[in-house]
Structure 1
Amino acid sequence: MLFILASLIALIFVAWLVVRGFANAFYFFARWLSGGEKLDAETTLSVSGKLHSTKKEREQYLDVLHIGWYQVVILFVGGSMAGLLLEEIWMLVTAGLTESRVGLVWGPFSPLYGTGTVLLTVICYWLRRRHVSNLVVFLVSACIGGILEQVTGWGMLTFFHTQSWSYAHLPDHITEFVAWRFLFFWGLLGLAWCRFVMPRALYHIGEPTSRRQAIFITLISVYVVADVCMTVACFTRATARDAGVSPHNAFEEWVDTHYSNEFISARFQNMSVHVEGTK
């Protein structure tokens, strides 16, 4: 008993050190990105004022903020990683499963959550500026989540014959990819995001003030686009291989060599592949 307790304390301490180390590394990296050559004096002054502003001034800043590519990229990447982490923790706690639940071939990303983060931010930011009620935010967020799950699930099954989740076994399912309980969770998530997380997230993301930040986000954007395109190419070839279609060019041969069915099975462990002509 004492050994188990000591091991648990040691594990918590190690986890705390790891989290603190990552936090410090992120802090110093963010400080470095904000340094260097500034983009322009106007942007620098606006951010300087934002950092030293009162709550009222912060709200005024958010009221005139226009969400652009800089904020969208950060929200997508952050949402993809945070959503993946929360999903894996949820599966570990509720089902005792430890498996890779990523959605792209490179990096720890789940684009479903990244897209959901961006959509919730854009729409909830629009709702916030119109001072709608919590009920409206809840219902709109639930609809966003349901539509996103339905379109993503249907698209994966229709175009790539793959499936990452199914709610058909749940008594409250609406379609194979949408269930009432998860619409409720999407609504709560959107409400919490709109009222508490989103204003602070957008406030701290702010605007790019240095060329380092602009270059870094541009590189991240290129990486994410390449990641998505390669993932589509991999699943397109996987579907073609299952149908007995040979590669037509050197790129498809390269994909078949480096991103085989074995790679896909190991990488996307929660995904099932439906081969045409089978059940």
Structure 2
Amino acid sequence: MIIPIFSLSGDIAVTVVGQYFFYFMVYSFLGWVLEGTYNLYSNGSFRKEGFLKGPFKPMYGFAPLLLLIARDLTLPLPLFLFLALIIPSAVEFISGWLLKTVFHKQWWDYSGMSYQLQGHVCLRFSLYWWGLSVASVYVIQPLMELLYSGVQPIWKFVLPIVGFYFMADLLWTCWSRYRMEKTPQYQK
């Protein structure tokens, strides 16, 4: 069980933030594996360009964290199941919109699918994310908590390294994508 992030103080808050960061990083990495596996199945290559250069897909980290916070609010099950559909789709839509707005590139495009919104989300994949969200909260998260309890003694030493790596990847990616956008493209 995660200590609710609300009404925390001092060392407990640092511990909980570290715990949530651990979950964020692991879920982001698992999202990278999931997308790579899907790409291998559908296109024959594991490597699929994502926003970050490293092996992380932050959308897959943010959505579970928001769902864990919703779970800890002890909402009625039907409301939670509704949020398990809405939260990942909202994260995907906002991420797609932000990436397209800031970097002028769309990393995924559902515009050819039924019931889609600006190519960023579609009903079919929202239902996939819903199933994955429910599985994440009720099946994967208990395993995550077990994993975290095993690595917790060393996590406080590893966290700054992982945090630095993630921030370096984020800054390097933003800088290189900005630089590519500003570099003139010559036609042959």
2:155 paired residue among 195, 213, 219: 213
Cα distance, 1:242 vs structure 2: 4.5
* Aligned amino acid, residue 74 of structure 1: F
- Residue 178 of structure 1 corresponds to which residue in structure 2? 121
Structure 1 unpaired stretches of 5+: 1-61, 245-279
**DSSP 3-state at the match of 2:108:** coil
Residues 180-225 of structure 1, C-alpha deviation per residue, up to 9 Å, x if partnerless? Answer: 1111112112212222222332243139764x43121122112212
1:194-213 mapped onto 2 (5 Å cutoff): 194-206=137-149, 210=153, 212-213=154-155
1:94 paired residue among 42, 48, 51: 42
Residues 118-147 of structure 1, C-alpha deviation per residue, up to 9 Å, x if partnerless? Answer: 3233333x24xx1521x3222102211111
Structure with higher Rg: it is 1
- Residue 76 of structure 1 corresponds to which residue in structure 2? 24
CA distance, structure 2, for counterparts of residue 99 and residue 208 of structure 1: 29
Q: 1:189 to 1:142 in 2, by over 3 A?
A: same
1:115 partnered with 2:58 = no
CA distance, structure 1, for counterparts of residue 61 and residue 55 of structure 2: 11
Could you list the runs of 4 or more consecutive aligned residues of structure 1 that deviate by over 6 angstroms after TM superposition? Answer: none
**DSSP 3-state at the match of 2:169:** helix
TM-score w.r.t. the length of structure 1 is 0.56
1:140 partnered with 2:88 = no
Aligned-residue CA RMSD in angstroms?
2.5
Residues 222-268 of structure 1, C-alpha deviation per residue, up to 9 Å, x if partnerless? Answer: 22122212211222222222499xxxxxxxxxxxxxxxxxxxxxxxx
- Larger relative contact order, structure 1 or 2 (CA cutoff 8 Å, min sep 6): 1
1:148-163 mapped onto 2 (5 Å cutoff): 148-163=91-106
Structure 2 unpaired stretches of 5+: 6-15
More off after superposition, 88-97 vs 141-150: 88-97
**DSSP 3-state at the match of 1:206:** helix
Residues 139-195 of structure 1, C-alpha deviation per residue, up to 9 Å, x if partnerless? Answer: 102211111111111111111111110110112213310101111112112212222
Provide the identity percentage: 23
* Aligned amino acid, residue 84 of structure 1: W
- Residue 9 of structure 2 corresponds to which residue in structure 1? none
Q: 1:99 to 1:219 in 2, by over 3 A?
A: closer
Q: 1:123 to 1:240 in 2, by over 3 A?
A: farther
TM-score w.r.t. the length of structure 2 is 0.80
Q: 1:132 to 1:194 in 2, by over 3 A?
A: farther
